[in-house]
């Protein structure tokens, strides 16, 4: 399965926030769910990372966000699935960091479990 295949699953109701065609064509090797500020030690190449963004807050947002997304990129994660339940939306700082580090970003609505 590739990242873009997730977006085609109607029952998940996922939305692409950022990612280009080449990145969305990456193969998924696994999934890690985490809400750690620095998930680096738990990540493996090819994984999709699912986060409820509990780690994110407006205080220090840019630093926390850059550290989180940088860890995903360095570990070889193929996408971040960001839950909208905690904050009501995907934070702008996260979108910017994913674009900067070239990590595809997908929004997971509150009604998707």
pTM over 0.75: yes
Within 8 A by CB and 6+ apart from 75, the residues are: 39, 40, 43, 44, 45, 47
26-68 pLDDT, tens digit per residue, is 999 999 999 999 999 999 999 999 999 999 998 878 899 999 9
Res 16 pLDDT > 90: yes
Fold type of domain 3-108: 3.40.1390
Domain residue ranges in the chain: 3-108
Q: Looking at residue 113, what is its pLDDT?
A: 85
What number of other Cβ atoms are within 10 A of residue 106's Cβ?
Answer: 24
Q: Looking at residue 58, what is its pLDDT?
A: 87
What is the C-alpha radius of gyration for the chain, rounded to an integer number of angstroms? 13
């Amino acid at each position: 399965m590739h990242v873009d295949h997730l977006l085609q699953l109607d029952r998940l109701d996922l939305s692409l926030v950022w990612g280009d065609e080449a990145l969305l064509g990456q193969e998924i090797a696994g999934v890690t769910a985490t809400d750690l500020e620095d998930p680096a030690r738990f990540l493996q190449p090819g994984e999709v990372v699912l986060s409820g963004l509990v780690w994110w807050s407006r205080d220090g947002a840019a630093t926390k966000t850059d550290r989180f997304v940088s860890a995903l990129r360095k570990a070889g994660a193929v996408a971040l699935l960001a839950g909208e339940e905690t904050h009501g939306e995907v934070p702008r700082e996260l979108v910017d960091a994913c674009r900067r580090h070239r990590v595809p970003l997908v929004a997971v609505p509150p009604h998707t479990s």
